[in-house]
């Protein structure tokens, strides 16, 4: 491996282009070696004239480009399984954005493929584990000073949803972050999910069930509720409050600039997840690059990606039926027996 880790970025949309920028300008120890997107014009714009970067329409072809030693997958979810399996075949370390694979059977195939290798190659992009506030909350809960957790109250709001967003995507795209965060914060699997549908907001596109109220149950009796509202209109907000036997702790209230003038005060509200979690993304990618250069894989695992897909599928079934739906995970391979960072 050279002085700089050569990374192929798959996907040049909003997220992929930001990762290209991050690898080039923010993260140390890495360089962009290739960018792939079916829209090669978009891929070329993301590459932005960076020296030594090749542009590809085909994601798998980018894995074989000169200088590629690792892969960052930021393409749409349905393309992730092929990219992950191709990276495994080549022994390339991967950082894959969530959802790892949208459907649970595809996600299980990825688990089984990595398990057959006998070593981890992939880290899944649940970046909240790298957010300073979430890490403080995790440390507090692990320390036990507030006693046993009883409930998590979560809020997930977006200014607006993309044109292609469906009611199901509120669960398997947006709430997938809360699924992983709850599993990580509590150190427990989620065992059941119930999705309730209040009256849709007038600001939601026609036919979109927005907002939704999602209730998860864990294996040790903790309740986790999530208000997901992807067309709130005013800002991007993510909050989490842990209610424990001896106290509570809340994160996500924000500490942005407060402007006071003419008898009123106003605080800035982030308009985008890349703004709210910019530092978390930077920490996540830097940690991945550092671990990869040492020949290690840390952070959320393929098993975490699989578990999130299974829980999200149960949530989608509950959304459609209105019924409480249980979660059934496959047997966990020994490769993932150790707790993940």
Give the closest residue to 281 by CA, choosing from 292, 294, 272, 293: 272
174: left (phi over 0), alpha (psi -120 to 50) or beta: alpha
Collapse the DSSP code of 123 into the 3-class scheme (helix H, G, I; strand E, B; otherwise coil) and give the result. strand
Q: Map tokens 């407060």 to a residue.
A: 258
**Rounded to an integer, what distance in angstroms lies between the CA atom of residue 102 and that of residue 93?**
21
The 10 Å Cβ neighbour count of residue 118 is 9
- Check if the beta carbon of residue 174 is closer than 8 Å to that of residue 261: no
- pTM of the full predicted structure? 0.93
Packing angle, helices 14-25 and 278-293, rounded to 10: 60
Cis omega (within 30 of 0) for bond into 99 = yes
**Rounded to an integer, what distance in angstroms lies between the CA atom of residue 225 and that of residue 214?**
6
- For the chain, the structural domain boundaries read 5-128+279-301, 132-272+307-326
pLDDT beneath 70: ranges in the chain: 1-2, 255-257, 272, 274, 338-341
Quick one: pLDDT at residue 264?
A: 83
Collapse the DSSP code of 181 into the 3-class scheme (helix H, G, I; strand E, B; otherwise coil) and give the result. helix
CATH domain 132-272+307-326 topology: Dihydrodipicolinate Reductase; domain 2 (3.30.360)
**Rounded to an integer, what distance in angstroms lies between the CA atom of residue 111 and that of residue 168?**
24
- Check if the beta carbon of residue 74 is closer than 8 Å to that of residue 15: yes
Quick one: pLDDT at residue 256?
A: 66
Quick one: pLDDT at residue 259?
A: 74
Quick one: pLDDT at residue 1?
A: 45
| Class for the domain spanning 5-128+279-301 | alpha beta
Quick one: pLDDT at residue 328?
A: 97
Quick one: pLDDT at residue 270?
A: 75
**Rounded to an integer, what distance in angstroms lies between the CA atom of residue 81 and that of residue 320?**
26
Q: Map tokens 């320390």 to a residue.
A: 143
């Amino acid at each position: 491996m050279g002085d700089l880790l050569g990374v192929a970025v798959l996907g040049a949309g909003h997220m992929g282009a930001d990762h290209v920028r991050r690898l080039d300008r923010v993260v140390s120890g890495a360089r962009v070696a290739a960018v792939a997107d079916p829209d090669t014009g978009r891929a070329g714009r993301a590459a932005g004239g960076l020296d030594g970067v090749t542009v590809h329409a085909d994601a798998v072809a980018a894995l074989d480009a000169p200088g590629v030693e690792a892969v960052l997958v930021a393409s749409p979810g349905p393309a992730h399984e092929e990219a992950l399996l191709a990276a495994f075949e080549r022994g390339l370390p991967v950082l894959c954005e969530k959802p790892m694979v949208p459907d649970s059977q595809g996600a299980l195939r990825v688990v089984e493929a990595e398990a057959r290798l006998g070593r981890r190659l992939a880290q899944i992009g649940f970046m909240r584990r790298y957010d300073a506030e979430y890490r403080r909350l995790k440390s507090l809960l692990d320390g036990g000073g507030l006693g046993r957790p009883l409930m998590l109250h979560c809020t997930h709001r977006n200014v607006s949803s993309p044109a292609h967003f469906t009611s199901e995507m509120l669960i398997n795209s947006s709430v997938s972050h809360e699924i992983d965060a709850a599993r990580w914060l509590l150190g427990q699997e989620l065992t059941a999910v119930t999705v309730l549908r209040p009256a849709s907001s007038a600001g939601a596109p026609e036919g979109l069930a927005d907002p939704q109220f999602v209730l998860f149950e864990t294996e040790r009796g903790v309740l986790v509720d999530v208000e997901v509202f992807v067309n709130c209109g005013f800002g991007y907000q993510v909050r989490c409050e842990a209610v424990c036997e001896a106290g509570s702790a809340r994160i996500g209230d924000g500490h942005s600039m407060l402007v006071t003038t003419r008898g009123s005060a106003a605080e800035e509200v982030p308009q985008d997840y890349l703004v709210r979690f910019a530092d978390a993304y930077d920490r996540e990618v830097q940690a991945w690059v550092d671990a990869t250069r040492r020949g290690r894989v840390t952070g959320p695992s393929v098993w975490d990606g699989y578990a999130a897909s299974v829980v999200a599928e149960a949530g989608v079934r509950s959304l459609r039926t209105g019924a409480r739906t249980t979660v059934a995970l496959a047997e966990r391979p020994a490769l993932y027996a150790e707790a993940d960072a």
